[in-house]
Every structure is written in C-alpha cells, then in structure tokens.
C-alpha cells in the first residue's frame, strides 16, 4: 500500500458571492448537488482508495445521506470543518490512512481523470504537485489606493487550482508546524513550500472552474450539458 492515495474534499465554506441562501456546494447542477458531482469523480478514479468529506456541522447529516444514496462507498468519513479552510483540511487529513493525499475543492466538479493521474505522477517524482493554468490576463500589482506598483511578467504566473497532491506525512508535518507558529496560508501548497517541500505545477484546464458566482453556475450547467451530449 506504499502508493495508496486518499482525497480530502473540502466543502465547509459558506460563500456569500453566490447570492443564494443555500451554500454553493449544495446547489443543484443538472439535478444533482455540486458536491456529489465532485465526489463522484474521485469515487470513480481507480487511484483513490479513501475519501474524507469536510463540511459544515449543519450539513453533515444530508451529506451522509447523499453518500449513501449515490453509493459513494469510498467516503470513509464526513466530518465538520473548522473556522478557516486550513483548519478544515487539517481535520480531514487526520482521518486518512493512505501514503498520499489529494486535497480538492468541493466546488470543482470538472476535474478530469487524466489531471488526477498527472498530479499524482508529478508528486511522486518531485515531492508535491498542484494543478494550475497559465494566467491569461495581464496582472498589475497595486497599492491600497489603487496605484499601480508593478506589472509582473505574465509568463511566470499561474492560477492555482486543485487537486493539490502531497505525501500525507509531509503535509501533516507542514500543518502541525503552521498551527504551532500561527501561520495561515492561502492554500495547502503554501504550507508545504514553507516546510521546504518542493512543489511543481501540473498544467490543467480552464474548464476546472471553482463554482463561486451565479455566472460560474451558468457556465457549469453549460459544461455539464455539453459533456452529457458529447
């Protein structure tokens, strides 16, 4: 089992940008909750042996019901998250018994099987990997008053997605160190980088969107419909 791979799916956020009373991860996409679409990708992937779903305390019950209803038998635990995403991931990691872990956003249902494969292979070769896409737009760094400070070279900039893949023991150590020092990172790989773990980007797809706004949901409906027809 030296190459066993688990997944922590993070769906504990209560985003406000969607403008709905319901959290975005539970909105329906083609008649099925977004989080279920995401879980199914990892359920169906032969690399993945265990899944932990981290969600809000008030959503545990219905998530467990969906796990049952949609026969997601790789989900070994549905656990309540913490106040920050970082705390939620840490709680999820502690539930796994695998050598490797992929951390993935619950609202990214369009990740491809081939991308999961590529992330795992790169992590095994380098130490850790993150799925990412080259930035298409010119980026400006600005100060608090909106004044432009610099224009970084776009060729060196990547927009980071998930999954992010690590050796489980490495990531747990990075999380423990961050907790001890009171450090909150923007993503899992920032904690790994801080611990000296080499992280490599794997080029993904612009379709692997994070559904956070009504426009994203429209795009997701369109994508899912086309995928069904294709």
CATH numbers and ranges of domains, the chain = 5-130+160-229 (3.90.550.10)
Mean pLDDT in runs of 10 for the chain (230 residues)?
88 60 72 93 98 94 95 97 92 97 96 97 97 94 95 92 97 95 93 95 95 81 72
Cα–Cα distance, 72 to 145 (Å, whole number):
49
pLDDT of residue 22: 57
pTM equals 0.91
pLDDT of residue 31: 86
pLDDT of residue 18: 47
pLDDT of residue 15: 55
């Amino acid at each position: 089992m030296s190459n066993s791979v688990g997944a922590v799916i993070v769906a504990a956020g209560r985003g406000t940008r969607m403008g709905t009373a319901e959290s975005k991860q539970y909105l329906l996409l083609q008649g099925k909750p977004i989080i279920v679409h995401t879980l199914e990708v990892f359920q169906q992937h032969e690399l993945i042996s265990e899944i932990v779903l981290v969600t809000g305390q008030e959503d545990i019950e219905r998530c467990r019901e969906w796990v049952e209803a949609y026969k997601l038998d790789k989900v070994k635990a549905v656990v309540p998250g913490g106040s920050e995403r970082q705390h939620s991931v840490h709680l999820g990691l502690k539930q796994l018994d695998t050598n490797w872990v992929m951390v993935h956003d619950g609202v990214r249902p369009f990740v491809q099987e081939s991308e999961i494969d590529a992330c795992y292979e790169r992590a095994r070769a380098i130490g850790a990997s993150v799925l990412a896409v080259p930035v298409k737009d010119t980026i400006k760094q600005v100060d608090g008053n909106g004044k432009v400070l610099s224009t970084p070279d776009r060729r060196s900039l990547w927009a980071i997605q998930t999954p992010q893949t690590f050796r489980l023991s490495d990531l747990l150590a990075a999380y423990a160190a961050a907790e001890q020092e009171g450090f909150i990172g923007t993503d899992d790989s920032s904690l790994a980088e801080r611990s000296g773990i080499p992280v490599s980007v794997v080029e993904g797809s612009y379709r692997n969107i994070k559904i956070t706004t009504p426009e994203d949901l429209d795009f997701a409906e369109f994508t899912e419909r086309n995928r069904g027809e294709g």
